[in-house]
Amino acid sequence: MSIAGYAPPPFLFNGHLETIYPALLRQVPALPYQRERILTPDDDFLDLDWVKTGREQLVIISHGLEGNSHRPYVQGMAHAFAQQGFDVLAWNYRGCSGMPNRQIRFYHSGATDDLHTVITHAVSHGYPNIYLIGFSLGGNLTLKYLGEKGKDTPVNKAVVFSVPLHLQSSCEKISEPSNFLYAHRFLRSLKKKIKEKAGVRADLSLDPLPAIKTLLEFDDQYTAPLHGFANAHDYYEKSSSLYFLGQIAVPSLIVNAANDPFLSTACYPARNQWSQAVTFEKPVRGGHVGFARWSGLYWSEERALGFITG
């Protein structure tokens, strides 16, 4: 597989178009997912979507903020690996599979306990070779997990794209006026999810919701307290994968495009901030979870295949 730098189609001439086009207009054939629901140690559940080809190598895909296993970027990556003889497990975070989860907590950028549950379940299926792929929030989750585990993990390799390695400055970046549409869309979706959750959890208050105008305020009022953090800053600092890169022992590729509208400068770290196991690439173009091509595999899919099979 080619590892040359990404070059977008001519009609995608800036980072915003490179971000929006794949998210809204890419058509990916529906995959023959086989859904499995597994229980978590705290009596909640996770919904996993499998593509099984009967092989011994498995790719686990982690989606981004307010995503799920049916997003085009997940299905495109799943197609690419299934066609190369991999089994695929695209998992949905708590509350992302179409119904509210049981516990008052849901998901967040540092919830590596759920990723660990998924990986442990995959190991129980007998896979000798396991690989991780993560997008955006899912990339942060993947890297934090690998940093926490060091050599104590069954994972062989990992590839992540468009990762907000430093959460607070990335939250501030996406809240800039030029990114208003993205932030508004995420916030609207998160607020909707809180309202749905309150329908099954009487102990979840909706009182703060009307006053919340930014993602940081949402994290301060909901994400942080629901998951044991003092406030949004505490959540960001303890969950940012930037601080775990030096402990990663599994060969891992990070790809953050230079024109990604979501990422702060802190998401392009200096070489001394990651371990020898990590490869960091900064293509000039690509947008956020973009890397589109006019036809065939997206560049991100080709790059992931190249790294994992190389």
pLDDT digits (tens, 9 = 90+) for 164-222: 999 999 999 999 999 999 999 999 999 999 999 999 999 999 999 999 999 999 999 99
User: How many other CB atoms are there within 10 angstroms of residue 268's CB atom?
Assistant: 17
Strands 252-255 and 278-281: parallel
Report which of 185, 227, 71 is spatially closest to residue 134, judged by C-alpha positions. 71
pLDDT in tens, 90-122: 999 999 999 999 999 999 999 999 999 999 999
Query: Domain segments of the chain: what residues?
Result: 15-167+240-309
With 60 as the cut, is the pLDDT of residue 4 above it?
A: no
Q: In what order do the strands lie in the sheet with 155-161?
A: 34-39, 45-51, 87-92, 57-62, 129-135, 155-161, 252-255, 278-281
Task: Answer whether 244's CB lies under 8 Å from 231's CB.
Answer: no
User: What does the pLDDT read at residue 5?
Assistant: 83
With 60 as the cut, is the pLDDT of residue 2 above it?
A: no
pLDDT in tens, 140-161: 999 999 999 999 999 999 999 9
User: What does the pLDDT read at residue 67?
Assistant: 98
pTM to 2 decimal places? 0.97
Task: Give the C-alpha separation, 51 to 82, whole Å.
Answer: 7
- φ/ψ region of 49 (left if φ > 0, alpha if ψ in -120 to 50, else beta) reads beta
Side-chain half-sphere exposure of 4, counting CA atoms within 13 A: 3
The DSSP 8-state label assigned to residue 128 in this structure reads S
The overall average pLDDT reported for the chain is: 96
Task: Give the C-alpha separation, 99 to 160, whole Å.
Answer: 27
Report which of 285, 293, 292 is spatially closest to residue 260, judged by C-alpha positions. 285
User: What does the pLDDT read at residue 54?
Assistant: 81
Task: Give the C-alpha separation, 72 to 95, whole Å.
Answer: 19
Task: Answer whether 246's CB lies under 8 Å from 277's CB.
Answer: no
Side-chain half-sphere exposure of 139, counting CA atoms within 13 A: 24
Report which of 309, 270, 276, 306 is spatially closest to residue 4, judged by C-alpha positions. 306
Task: Answer whether 254's CB lies under 8 Å from 139's CB.
Answer: yes
pLDDT in tens, 28-65: 988 999 999 999 999 999 999 999 988 899 999 999 99
Task: Answer whether 180's CB lies under 8 Å from 281's CB.
Answer: no
Dihedrals phi, psi of 57, to nearest 5 degrees: -115, 135
Percent of the chain with pLDDT over 70: 99
Task: Give the C-alpha separation, 66 to 186, whole Å.
Answer: 7
Percent of the chain with pLDDT over 90: 95
CATH architecture of 15-167+240-309: 3-Layer(aba) Sandwich (3.40)
